Amino acid sequence: MSLHNLRRNRERFLHIMMGLVGLLFLIFGARLVHIMLIGKVNGVDLQAQANQQFYRQSVLPAKRGTIYDIGGNPIASDSTAYNVYAVLTTKWADEGAAPIHVPEDQKEHTAEVLSHHIKMSKEEILKRLKSPDATQVEFGQAGQNLSHAKMEKIKNENLQGIHFLEQPNRLYPNGNFASHVLGYAQYEEAQLPKDSRLIGQMGIEKNWDAHLAGTNGHRNYLANHDQFATVDQEDSDSNTQPIDGLDLYTTIDTRLQTYLETLMEKVYKENKPQSMTAMLVDPKTGNVVAASQRPTFNLQTRKGLKDMWTNLLVGEAYEPGSVIKVLTVAAAIQEGVFQPDETYQSGHIIVDGTQISDWNKVGWGVIPQLEGLAQSSNVLMVKLVQAMGYDTWHKYMVEFGLTQRPNSGFDDEISGSISFDKELQKANTAFGQAIRVTPWELMQAYTAVANGGKMMKLHIIDRYQEKDGNIRVNQPEQISQPISEETARKTLKALESIVYSPNGTGTIYDIKGIRLAVKTGTAEIYDENAGRYLSGGENAYLHSVVGFAPSDNPRYILYLTMKRPSAGGLAQVGLSKIFIPFLQRAMEYSKLEPASQSSSSQVPNIVNQEVNTAEQSLKKQHFADIQVLGKGKQVIRQFPQSGEKQRSDRPIFLLTEGELTMPDMTGMSLTEAQNLAQMLGIHLSVNGQGHVKKQSLSPGRPIRSEETVTIELQ
């Protein structure tokens, strides 16, 4: 082929290829114009698909219901915690926007400043900030659950790249406060963000979780390409508003509960027992007015939780010892076999070939039955159940509820048990062996003696909010009437001998001005491993006391236990250090009019309002004591929170931006002082009971981060 023909063929091929390329461009261009005009490919809406690719949903958290004491004071309420984190990548900032990462040349400075605000060393923070290939780092527990005040202090340091994540939290202003009864809730992340919420882990918070929880809502929006910032475009039609949880009002009286915790802690440190319990009950209503145990834990910090998970009031059964004799004598009086002036031979009695002795091993000779009760004679109790018949005595124990679960409302409750197969076991139940009870069961049985023979169901919830907003009140509930009104009266009269007889076992519990019926107990503790009862001194027993005040018409029943004390001398002396001052305080308060619920109003939402506007809103609802914290012009946080009830004479705290100075706490209750401290980001050291008389940090002085302020109550 000639050179001319080759050149001509090559040109023809190039023309054909250029034509094909041009045709392809024409086809693709036409297709692109078509797509741009109709916005679809093969029936797929490209805009919708793009939106879906960057379509995001944020959770609108529901407010968990507030838990109040019987007077309307909040003892568990919602708050916001903050987790601090650092962004290390430069890729998350929008083009042209300010940088949001920690610059390399500022990491050491950032670590230095941050170490002054969280409990982590500068070296550890710097190590995290220099993590290779990390885009974001957190700071463990040290950087979690920060208060609003703490977050603001860090934010005011203007550290580039340091950010905060809000997280629902629970505020327990009283710390150690009926902790195993009230329980706690903590935030748990679910697979679906909308299901992440505060979940009750223990106590009332757990058992009323469905009532308190509410339902989260959500907000739909479009995210930008890096998913860090958001585009201001909402799909409001598909947004769902949250449904807040419902409130609860407990039977607990904060004034008495706080005082009980103080007394319990003092004796616990002095006597060093294995455990302690305390319950104060109104026998007319079944209200549990105060309840405590040791070991316990701080509801806010969880400090001490690992030492004791069990709610000892309902979750641990034990042989009660001589305090069961209250019920033995009541049954014997009902059956007509207890005759105060009739005599018997104390010391020993043989049952099924086994000798049962009085606690002093020798008895007191021939004595009247009333004297035997005052001396807590085991022999007398055995003779009484033998006289009425073992089966009759068993019937009474069942009617007193000692074999059934008491339906306390706590999921960890257990029922007591009775060993009643052998004659020796039957006899032993008369003085508190071969029978196991919980404090809740025993206190419920005692209400029959204190309430004219009518046994009342114990409850811890006084009233609760329903979905329609109405408040439903739990009415007193009678379970049974195991004894007559006359028998109850005679039983209380007989129990006075334990305090007022010269030889009574409870003379140490005498309270001037209050006539008491009392029964003490010193129960042997059975060692399952050794197959026998422990032996030794005070450390081998469970010591207890129950008191009815006043004895002629009891307003309260108080029951205390102390298991295996290892220091502090006689256990009954230790128990008296709780019994006497606490019952005195309870009887003093019972003479005062309870706080009026009608004077309580719902606190409005004033967050983000100007301070002047917020104050006017509160004054319109007759709140007189409005305290502004900080020097800013806008409210960034409030306590109580919106929707909560607050009496018009109690303070409302408004937190603003700017430097915080110490307010005057004089006259505040412990709860109010603790709420204030939480908002300010300071710690409280508390001495005494009552209301604030003195404070270590003078009013008006600037507040330092994590500062500890000591307050004296009187």
User: What is the value of pTM for the model shown?
Assistant: 0.78
Q: What is the mean pLDDT of residues 595-608?
A: 69
- Decide: 151 and 82 in contact? Cβ < 8 Å: yes
Q: Where are the alpha helices (DSSP H) in 461-558?
A: 485-495, 497-500
- Tens-place pLDDT, residues 132-158: 889 999 999 899 888 888 999 999 999
Distance CA 303, CA 299 (A): 8
Q: How many CB atoms lie within 10 A of CB 513?
A: 7
Residues 6+ apart with CB under 8 A from 31: none
Neighbour-count burial of 192, counting CB atoms closer than 10 A to its CB (0-12 exposed, 13-18 middle, 19+ buried): exposed
- Tens-place pLDDT, residues 92-111: 887 778 899 999 999 999 99
Q: What is the mean pLDDT of residues 230-241?
A: 60
| Residue in 460, 499, 451, 505 with CA at minimum distance from that of residue 479 | 451
What pLDDT score does 595 carry?
A: 42
**Which CATH topology does 597-713 take?**
Trypsin Inhibitor V; Chain A (3.30.10)
What pLDDT score does 56 carry?
A: 65
Joined tokens for residue 540: 């081998």
Q: Is 404's pLDDT higher than 80? A: yes
Distance CA 591, CA 575 (A): 25
Decide which of 593 and 88 is more confident: 88
If pLDDT is split at 50, 70 and 90, which confidence band does 39 have? low
- Report in angstroms the alpha-carbon separations of 430 from 379, 380, 397, 576, 626: 9, 9, 10, 25, 59
If pLDDT is split at 50, 70 and 90, which confidence band does 5 have? low
What pLDDT score does 3 carry?
A: 54
Q: What is the mean pLDDT of residues 242-254?
A: 94
| Dihedral angle over CA of 491, 496, 501, 504, nearest 10 | 80
| Dihedral angle over CA of 421, 426, 429, 433, nearest 10 | -60
- The single-letter code of the amino acid at 59 is V
To which CATH superfamily is domain 254-590 assigned? DD-peptidase/beta-lactamase superfamily (3.40.710.10)
Question: How does DSSP classify residue 354?
Answer: E
Joined tokens for residue 373: 């009760």
What pLDDT score does 226 carry?
A: 47
Q: Is 618's pLDDT higher than 80? A: yes
If pLDDT is split at 50, 70 and 90, which confidence band does 232 have? very low
> Is 58 known to be catalytic?
no
- Tens-place pLDDT, residues 542-564: 999 999 999 999 999 999 999 99
Q: Is 235's pLDDT higher than 60? A: no
Distance CA 290, CA 582 (A): 11
DSSP string over 76-115: EEEEEEEEEEEE--STTSPTTSPP-S--GGGHHHHHHHHT
- Tens-place pLDDT, residues 168-196: 899 998 889 999 999 999 999 888 877 88
- Tens-place pLDDT, residues 213-230: 999 888 776 655 444 434
119-128, 517-526, 650-659: least confident range: 650-659
- Tens-place pLDDT, residues 421-456: 999 999 999 999 999 999 999 999 999 999 999 999
If pLDDT is split at 50, 70 and 90, which confidence band does 41 have? low
- Decide: 321 and 432 in contact? Cβ < 8 Å: yes
Continuous segment of H or E residues that includes residue 329: helix 325-334
Distance CA 180, CA 308 (A): 9
| Residue in 488, 492, 502, 590 with CA at minimum distance from that of residue 548 | 492
Joined tokens for residue 246: 């419902």
Q: Which is the catalytic residue, given 147, 275, 322, 551?
A: 322
Q: What is the mean pLDDT of residues 609-615?
A: 88
Q: Is 364's pLDDT higher than 70? A: yes
Cα 691 from chain centre: 23
The CATH number of the structural domain formed by 58-250 is: 3.90.1310.10
Average model confidence (pLDDT) across the chain: 88
Residue 551, sorted as left (phi over 0), alpha (psi -120 to 50) or beta, turns out to be: alpha
| Residue in 72, 68, 76 with CA at minimum distance from that of residue 202 | 76
| R_g of the chain computed on alpha carbons | 35
394-403, 539-548, 700-709: least confident range: 700-709
| Residue in 56, 36, 55 with CA at minimum distance from that of residue 46 | 36
What pLDDT score does 281 carry?
A: 98
| Residue in 200, 249, 248, 241 with CA at minimum distance from that of residue 220 | 241
Distance CA 376, CA 506 (A): 10
Q: Is 351's pLDDT higher than 90? A: yes
Distance CA 568, CA 574 (A): 7
Q: Is 413's pLDDT higher than 70? A: yes
If pLDDT is split at 50, 70 and 90, which confidence band does 669 have? confident
Q: What is the mean pLDDT of residues 25-52?
A: 59
